[in-house]
Amino acid sequence: GSFTGAYERKIGRFELANAGSLLLDEVSEIHIDLQPKLLRALQEREIERVGGNETISVDVRIIATSNRNLEEAIENNSFRRDLFYRLNVATIHIPPLRERKDDIEPLVIAFIQEFAEKFNKPTPRISSDALELLSGLPWKGNVRELKNCIERVVLLYDVPVLTASHFS
């Protein structure tokens, strides 16, 4: 194999996503040395498997996310300008959760259901005082922080109603 443990052919993410979509979550964190390889794959619509010697055509729609300002990253020489313009076909700006207070209640309800099922527990209701508390928090970690908070509370408490006291 081309690397330790490579005893069989492994299909990579681009090849798996062929004729579909590939999410590059936090694209700003891709090391500057790897960015030209990504750019080439996007431009040429071709990849090579690690250790392979043939090119494979791929048709992949890329969805790239970042919580950093990529234009600032370009100025700081941590993100390639050409890759930015290759990815920047359509930009969707999603404000942080703290600016979308109306999204908190449906997210909380969905997460409660998700974790009650995951932990095989009855699904508790959420009180209005708990929702008021959660809506007033800054959620610097955005939806991930909210999700972790709900997971912790559902895991720790076997109650029919989650109140603000469960979140303190």
Burial class (CB in 10 A: 0-12, 13-18, 19+), 162: buried
CA 5 – CA 8 distance, rounded (Å): 9
SS (H, E, C) 109-130: HHHHHHHHHHCCCCCCEECHHH
105 backbone dihedrals φ, ψ, rounded to 5°: -60, -50
Burial class (CB in 10 A: 0-12, 13-18, 19+), 168: exposed
pLDDT of residue 5: 64
Does residue 9 have a pLDDT over 80?
Answer: no
pLDDT of residue 88: 93
Q: Which amino acid is at 13?
A: R
pLDDT of residue 1: 47
Does residue 167 have a pLDDT over 60?
Answer: yes
pLDDT of residue 82: 96
Q: Which amino acid is at 94?
A: I
Find the farthest-apart pair of alpha carbons in the chain and give their distance in angstroms, rounded: 61
pLDDT of residue 84: 97
- pLDDT 10s digits, 19-63: 999 999 999 999 999 999 999 999 999 988 877 788 889 999 999
Q: In the block, which residue shows the tokens 């494979």?
A: 56
Q: Answer yes or no: are the C-beta atoms of 17 and 60 closer than 8 Å.
A: yes
Name the pLDDT band for 4 (thresholds 50, 70, 90): low
Does residue 138 have a pLDDT over 90?
Answer: yes
- pLDDT 10s digits, 67-126: 899 999 999 999 999 999 999 999 998 999 999 999 999 999 999 999 999 999 999 999
